[in-house]
Each structure stands twice: as C-alpha cells, then as structure tokens.
Amino acid sequence: MLLGASLVGVLLFSKLVLKLPWTQVGFSLLLLYLGSGGWRFVRIFIKTIRRDIFGGLVLLKVKAKVRRYLRERRTVPLLFASTVQRHPDKTALIFEGTDTHWTFRQLDGYSSSVANFLQARGLASGDVVALFMENRNEFVGLWLGMAKLGVEAALINTNLRRDALRHCLTTSKARALVFGIELAPAICEIHTSLDPSLSLLCSGPWEPSSVPTSTEHLDPLLDKAPKHLPCHPDKGFTDKLFYIYTSGTTGLPKAAIVVHSRYYRMAALVYYGFRMRPDDIVYDCLPLYHSAGNIVGMGQCLLHGMTVVIRKKFSASQFWDDCIKYNCTIVQYIGELCRYLLNQPPREAETRHQVRMAIGNGLRQSIWTDFTSRFHIPQVAEFYGATECNCSLGNFDSQVGACGFNSRILSFVYPIRLVRVNEDTMELIRGPDGVCIPCQPGQPGQLVGRIIQQDPLRRFDGYLNQGANNKIAQDVFKKGDQAYLTGDVLVMDELGYMYFRDRTGDTFRWKGENVSTTEVEGTLSRLLDMADVAVYGVEVPGTEGRAGMAAVASPASSCDLESFARALEKELPMYARPIFLRFLLELHKTGTYKFQKTELRKEGFNPALVKDPLFYLDSRKGRYVSLDQEAYTRIQAGEEKL
C-alpha cells in the first residue's frame, strides 16, 4: 500500500465532507506527498479520487439511513408500506410466464392475506415457514407476508432433492412448508420421513393426486383470508427476516441469516452506487431463493418502487424479446448468462431494447467488451459479495473486468483488505506478530472484512446453525480483531480495482451455482465406500465458472460407473455432480490433512497430461464414459455438451 495514503484520505474526506479549512488540509497533504511516493501517488490520486469520493459518499448515505432505521425499529415490511403509500397503483411485479401484473396495492393485499392466514393457523413472530417454489409473483408475496407477521421464511433451493432437501427442512425447524405444485414430486419423495406435525401447503393448479394426502391447497385459503394489515410484530431492523441456503463446507447446505438491515443494505448500496432510478424496470430471471434475485433485484421493487419483471427461468432465446415487451431498462445477470446470450445467433431484438444497465457478478474480462458492444449496454454494474459477507465490492465506473474496488487513499472508510493466503489450502499467511499480511498490488490474496457488530455495515449475522460459523478468523487487521473470510482469491491493481482470480478452496462455481467441494466429497465417499475423494473445479473452454472434477483414490475397475451415475442423480443437484472423474492410486495431503489440489487442477482432464484413467459425464447418455483424446478434443471445441 502507498505510505501515508490512508491519512491523505482522512484529510481529503475531512475537507470535502467535514468542511475543514484548506490550509490545514493542504499543509498536511504536502508533507505526506514528500514522504509517500511523490508523482506515483499523485497519479493514483488523480485517477481515483472522484471514484473514491463517490463511493465513500454512497457508503455514508446508506450508513446514515441504516442508523436511522435502526433507531426507528424499521423493518422491510414497514419500508415497503412507505413504497405502497407513494404509488399504490404503479405496477410492482410482472410475471412473464402468465403475463400477470400486480400493482403495489395488490402485492400489499396478497402479502397481508398471507400474514392473516398464518396468524389464524397459530403461527407467530419467530416461527419459521419453509418456501419451496419456482419464480413467480406469489413467491415474493409469500415471504413478504410472513415478514409482516414476524415469521421467518426459509427459502429453499429448488434444485435440492432427498437428503439435502430434508436437511434444509429439518434444520430450519419450520412449522409449515409452502411448495409450488411444480415441485410436488420432490416433496412426495421425502414426505414420509418429515415430521408429521409439519403443515403442507401447496400453491398452483390443484392436483390432489400429485401431492401427499395431508396437503392443503393454499390459494383458495388465501382468497378467503382478510387483506387488512396485521398488527406489527415486535421486530426491529437487526432482527431476522429470512434464511438463504448457501453451499455448506460441512457436507450439506447451511442457512445464512438475512436480517432486515442486511436486506436493506444490499439493495440500497447497488441502488445508490450504480445510480438506479425509481422509474427503472428490472428484468429478473435469477432464482428468487438466492440473494442476487431476491435482494439485489427484488429489493429495488420493495424499497425503491421499481417495477420488476420476473421470469421463471432464464431463456437465452427469449431474453431480449422480453426486455422489449416490458420496456426493461436494467437486466440482471450472472457470468454464465452473458456467455449464453453471446452464443445465440445475432437477431434484431438484441439491439432494439432500452436496457441501459446490466447488473450482476461473474462477467469475465474475456467477454466483457463483446457483451457490451454487441448488445449496446452502456453500463455494466458488476458487484461482488456473498449472502452472509460483510465486505461487498462494487464496480461503480464500469472498469472492464473488475468486480469492484477498494480505495487506496480512503481505505479507512471501508475496512476490507486482501491478505496473503496459501492458494492451495486457503490458509492465511501471517507475519511474525501473528497478524495477516496485506497484499501489495499484483499479489493474489483472500478478501476479508473486519467484523464490527455495532456497525450496521460491518456486522456478521452468521448462520442458523451457529456451529457452521467457520468463516471467521482472529487477528486479521490487528491483534484481537475478527474478520469474515470470503474464501475467494482476488488480485488488486495499482488503482485499487479488484479482479476475480479464482474460486479455490472449499467452493467453485458451475451453472450459476456455488458448489461445496466438501459436500460433494462426502457424497462421493459414501457412494463409493472409500475415504479419499478430492473434488475441485477445472476450466472448460467456452464455459463460465469451473466444471466439477473428482479424483478418486481407487482403481477404476472397482467402480460400477453406471450405478454410480444413477445414484448421483438422486443425491446431488445437476450443477453439483462431477463432470469428470480421475482414478489414481493415492491422493497427497498437506500437513493439516487437506488434499493438495493445486497440481490436480493444473493437470485438469487432459489425457495427454494425465495418465490415470479419466471419464466424463455424457449428458445425452446420462452416464460416465471414457475420456480419450478424441473426446477431449470435442470438449475443447465446444462440441460436447456438459
């Protein structure tokens, strides 16, 4: 870091925000200039000061609002009530699947009927209801209605089945389960092993023969429920709102706690940071059980009065047609989505839209410019951050390839840092004093955020199962502190822009989902009846993220791959199943008994480099087949669908 840069930031901020005299600021700045790198510092200052001041002011604005709402014990439903008051008859939600339009007044009424119905059934503030449903307007109305009563929604990933689904329902201690009729088969698979006291409520076209016998049809029950606003529960801004399930490093998904202030903070930072407007129309085709779709996207509707277009699932062929039809000005993406759009044949609709901003994460530098130029997108609002993390980043000025920035002159405003890390084990590297070592520009490191529980922007709310809180480290910025570990390796340039380097360690990303290597390793070890299985992500040309690969310490002849593929289909969601298998004699471990995966990742699935038996999952046949040089060439050329 530049010598004295943080102090310069303090001085500038004192002048621009606190209005201190220029004489005091100028004299101190001159002294610091002489001892802090001279013209190199001036160059960085000139190039970044406008960006940094804007980012700092956004943070101060959001922080001030959060503190105010904290004092007033506001909640998301109360903030939504203010939005309804401002424009009750404006369109709030549009569900593309049925072209259903809901005004803010209608969304308010539906959510109130949910609250009144649940209250009549004996549910109260602090109870949990699980929500297992594909994207549609009702999804939003259901969790919002629960929040009006103080009931906490457990938002279940619709890809989960069997053990993982059962685990989420059980650990949430849900008193009721609301599921969409489209997911009835998944509930039928496990309903006999669920707690008999769990109420089952189904939404959607009623098909009694396709649901467990104890299931009630929710829709007519809500039609009869009162639509007046229920009594406000005794909840404040830092109380629980709902749970979002993330990849668990202990073998199964874990429920990240989202409190009301976190929901507001995430939605507000992108709103102000990326200069959104109340009259924007957002196209949201991301899953509403994840934070990107339900907070970053849907939060703009509930908190800032935007219209949000919901699509059940992303469709590359219909994407731009939908944007034109509904006059969308903002679209949400994940990196894979952008590549899928680029892979579509050119069409007139892709340049006739009114989209001015694409917001999301994971847009790779290699396709960034192609994406913006081909589809005429003026602004890419790339951000970085996990549901539970306290160190989000934002790329406020569309710097190509960057996932955000950390100021090199105002670093005191936002206490995040890149620290040195062993990229193979993700263990923090510490100095002689036991404190983590900050990265210099160009050095890869793990992003960490200092935890300050009294600070609404720095607090860490953790997980429903507190035993899952393995994301906290001690003595990171200084002795005695605590910091949140993102688990991701980033690299910072001289101007403070952050670039995604890799997702190593315990997770990787495939098909738009984070995959827990520990979870997959545990499942494979159980199915293969062996202890040593290492799972990691490997790069595949023409695809985003990393495909799962498993190295198995066993002869290939000992495994019935056909039965194994069938078992995996039942045990793991599609995105978590390993695409590639490698059978070898032994897996090497570190001194702390973690698998050494660096060399395995480097060798990948190239049969010219790997002499061990290799297999890949043939999506057409649904089974693993031998990976020879011919198959490898097809995969490299994008001729083999993975």
User: What does the pLDDT look like over 54-101, one tens digit per residue?
Assistant: 999 999 999 999 999 999 999 999 999 999 999 999 999 999 989 999
Whether 386 has a pLDDT exceeding 80, the answer reads: no
Chain mean pLDDT for the chain: 88
Given CA atoms 502, 504, 510, 514 in this order, what sign does their dihedral have? negative
Residues 6+ apart with CB under 8 A from 404: 382, 383, 384, 392, 393, 394, 395, 497, 498
**Which residues are CB-neighbours of 193 under 8 A, at least 6 positions away?**
166
The CA distance from 449 to 212, in Å, is 46
Predicted confidence (pLDDT) at residue 492 exceeds the cutoff of 80: yes
What pLDDT does 22 receive?
53
Domain boundaries, the chain: 1-36, 73-313, 508-637
**Which pLDDT score is estimated for 350?**
95
Spatial distance between the Cα atoms of 122 and 116, rounded to a whole number of angstroms: 10
- Distance CA(570)–CA(588), nearest Å, equals 30
User: How would residue 339 be classed by pLDDT, with cut points 50, 70 and 90?
Assistant: confident
Q: Which of 295, 269, 274, 236 is nearest to 65 (CA)?
A: 269
Residue 592 above 50 pLDDT? no
- Res. 494: pLDDT tops 50: yes
73-313 and 508-637 share one fold: no
| Per-residue pLDDT at 34 exceeds 70 | no
What pLDDT was estimated at residue 169?
95
State the pLDDT confidence band at 126, using cuts at 50, 70 and 90.
very high
- Mean pLDDT check: name the lowest of 17-26, 305-314, 578-587, 627-636: 17-26
The winner for highest mean pLDDT among 201-210, 358-367, 389-398, 445-454 is: 201-210
Q: How confident is the model at residue 206 (pLDDT cuts 50, 70, 90)?
A: very high
**Between the CA of residue 196 and those of 180, 185, 215, 364, 477, what are the distances in Å?**
20, 18, 11, 47, 49
Ramachandran angles phi, psi of 377, nearest 5°:
-100, 110
Instruction: Provide the pLDDT for residue 92.
Output: 98
Using alpha carbons, list the distances in angstroms from residue 160 to 165, 283, 442, 546, 612: 5, 25, 39, 20, 32
**Residues contacting residue 621 through CB under 8 Å, at least 6 positions apart:** none
Above pLDDT 70, what percent of the chain? Answer: 90
Residue 577: partners with Cβ closer than 8 Å, 6 or more residues away: 548, 568, 569, 617
Quote the pLDDT of residue 566: 87
What span, in angstroms and rounded, lies between the C-alpha atoms of 311 and 322?
A: 9
- What is the predicted pLDDT for the residue at 426? 77
The CATH number, out of the four listed (1.10.10.10, 3.20.20.70, 3.30.300.30, 3.20.20.80), of the domain defined by the range 508-637: 3.30.300.30
The Cα–Cα gap between 117 and 606 comes to 58
Look at residue 340 in the predicted model and tell me its pLDDT.
86
Q: Which residues contact 476 (CB under 8 A, 6 or more apart)?
A: 417, 419, 428, 435, 436, 448, 450, 482, 483
- Chain segment 442-471, per-residue pLDDT in tens: 999 999 999 988 887 888 888 887 655 668
505: confidence class by pLDDT, cuts 50, 70, 90: low
Q: Which of 222-231, 535-544, 565-574 has the highest mean pLDDT?
A: 222-231
Residues 6+ apart with CB under 8 A from 202: 178, 179, 180, 181, 184, 211, 215, 216, 217, 218
Angle subtended at Cα 395 by Cα 392 and Cα 401, rounded to the nearest 5 degrees: 110
Q: Does residue 440 surpass a pLDDT of 60?
A: yes
The dihedral through the CA atoms of 313, 318, 322, 323 has a sign that is positive
Distance CA 70, CA 184 (A): 40
Average pLDDT over residues 611-637: 91
pLDDT band of residue 228 (cuts 50, 70, 90) is: very high
Q: Which CATH number fits domain 73-313: 3.40.50.300, 3.40.50.1820, 3.30.70.890, 3.40.50.980?
A: 3.40.50.980
Across residues 459-485, what is the average pLDDT?
A: 84
Residue 413: per-residue pLDDT: 67
291, 258 contact by CB (below 8 A): yes
Quickly state the pLDDT bin for 319 (edges 50, 70, 90). very high
CB 430 within 8 A of CB 436: yes
pLDDT for the residue numbered 366: 83
Q: Would the pLDDT of 407 be above 80? A: yes
Given a cut of 50, is residue 593 above it in pLDDT? no
Q: What is the pLDDT of residue 118?
A: 97
